[in-house]
Amino acid sequence: MPGSKNTYDPKTDMPDISGKVYVVTGGSAGIGFGICAHLLQHNCAALYILSKKKEHLEEAQQGLKKYGDISKLHPIQLDLEDLHQTDKIAARLSKELIRLDALILHASLSVAPSAESKDSIDTHMQVNILSQHHLTMCLLPLLIQTHDSRLVLQTSSSSLHHFSPSPKFPKEISELKSDIIGPMTSPYGRTKLSQILQTRALVRRKQRAEIGMRPNSAPWINTTHPGEQAIDAHGNIGVITRPSMKDAIDQGCRSALFAATSPDVAAEKMDGEYIVSSDCRVSSETTEHVQDEELGERLWELTEQILREKLGGLPYRTS
């Protein structure tokens, strides 16, 4: 069974990644920092860290000094609440990189009151879904051309997507503002659920040999869950704490690192899986909504519709 081993520890199980290039969103603090620390420690050739605030990137650079050669770091300031800035950075990376071994989408807007972005979109929807989908699609050709590449989406540092109400994605952009109404956790849980739906929609396109991908080959596309962590989605220690929460650097990053680097992923052709916690098992504990292909397709269509209208077109194939 894929991911059935009992434990995974990147300090002992992670392979040497010399020559490999990684892009990590939300890599400046917390679990994202832990992911970057291990990638640097295991000899990556280049590590692009995308984060909203310049000061967070500077702090990360200082903190990463003890893990490896920080000349390999390429910090990039990116506000995922700005679609045009996201588009600009995605275009820059697609031109600058000649290979991409893994795109790790860890950045997330966590549990917070609903608000609108400068693009007049619910901020949870924009940060957690739209902007990272656009980044993925812009960089997908690089992933396709790189041997044994990976796409990793970190779904949550909680299990709120299990408690999300059934998403009802609006058919028109003008209706999107109504999607922010509800309990404070609803937009976050809904977008975390949506990440799994979006990932599986991408895998279905791969299985149909669409948008340049081939079945049973890289990029290997999976979602991960880090377990309960003592950080919020912005990397703030102790915002929501429980005794059971795991250390972000020692354990919280294990499932993402497994998905991004383990030879087992390619050997066992793990695609569209939900990889959980430090034992990196494949979980079957997902809601009925996750299995709803029609729901996933509606989300995919809405995502592309919004991006196309907000950006004035898309620089990649959509079918």
**pTM beyond 0.85:** yes
Could you tell me the pLDDT band of residue 249, with boundaries at 50, 70 and 90? confident
Q: Is 16's pLDDT higher than 90?
A: yes
- φ and ψ at residue 281, rounded to 5 degrees: -85, 160
Task: Compute CA 26 distance to the chain's CA centroid, rounded to the nearest angstrom.
Answer: 9
Taking residues 172-183, report their average pLDDT. 43
Of residues 156 and 208, more confidence is placed in: 208
Lowest mean pLDDT among 76-80, 195-199, 225-229: 225-229
Q: Is 84's pLDDT higher than 90?
A: yes
Of residues 63 and 124, more confidence is placed in: 63
**Per-residue model confidence (pLDDT) at position 112:** 63
**Per-residue model confidence (pLDDT) at position 279:** 66
Taking the C-alpha atoms of residue 236 and residue 231, their distance in angstroms, rounded to an integer, is: 5
**Per-residue model confidence (pLDDT) at position 6:** 56
Could you tell me the pLDDT band of residue 193, with boundaries at 50, 70 and 90? confident
Taking the C-alpha atoms of residue 314 and residue 317, their distance in angstroms, rounded to an integer, is: 8
Burial of 7 (0-12, 13-18, 19+ CB in 10 A): exposed
Q: Can you give the residue ranges of every domain in the chain?
A: 10-311
CATH domain 10-311 topology: Rossmann fold (3.40.50)
Question: Do the Cβ atoms of 128 and 192 come closer than 8 Å?
Answer: yes
Taking the C-alpha atoms of residue 32 and residue 260, their distance in angstroms, rounded to an integer, is: 13
Could you please report the per-residue DSSP string of 97-157? -S--SEEEE-----S----B-TTSSBHHHIIIIIHHHHHHHHHHHHHHHSTT-EEEEE--S
Lowest mean pLDDT among 77-86, 117-126, 153-162: 153-162
Q: Where are the beta strands (DSSP E) in the chain?
A: 21-25, 46-51, 73-77, 102-105, 150-154, 220-225, 274-276, 281-282
Question: Mean pLDDT score of the chain, rounded to an integer?
Answer: 83
**Per-residue model confidence (pLDDT) at position 194:** 84
Q: Is 5's pLDDT higher than 70?
A: no
pLDDT tens for each residue of 228-245: 554 444 443 323 333 333
**Per-residue model confidence (pLDDT) at position 225:** 87
Taking residues 177-188, report their average pLDDT. 46
Mention every residue, 6+ apart, whose C-beta is less than 8 A from residue 313. Answer: none
Residue with tokens 């102790």: 238
Taking residues 90-98, report their average pLDDT. 98
Task: Compute CA 139 distance to the chain's CA centroid, rounded to the nearest angstrom.
Answer: 13
Could you tell me the pLDDT band of residue 119, with boundaries at 50, 70 and 90? very high
Residue with tokens 């959980």: 276
**Per-residue model confidence (pLDDT) at position 91:** 98
Lowest mean pLDDT among 31-45, 89-103, 234-248: 234-248
Could you tell me the pLDDT band of residue 62, with boundaries at 50, 70 and 90? very high
Taking the C-alpha atoms of residue 179 and residue 123, their distance in angstroms, rounded to an integer, is: 11
pLDDT tens for each residue of 252-299: 899 999 999 999 999 999 999 999 875 677 755 555 667 788 988 999
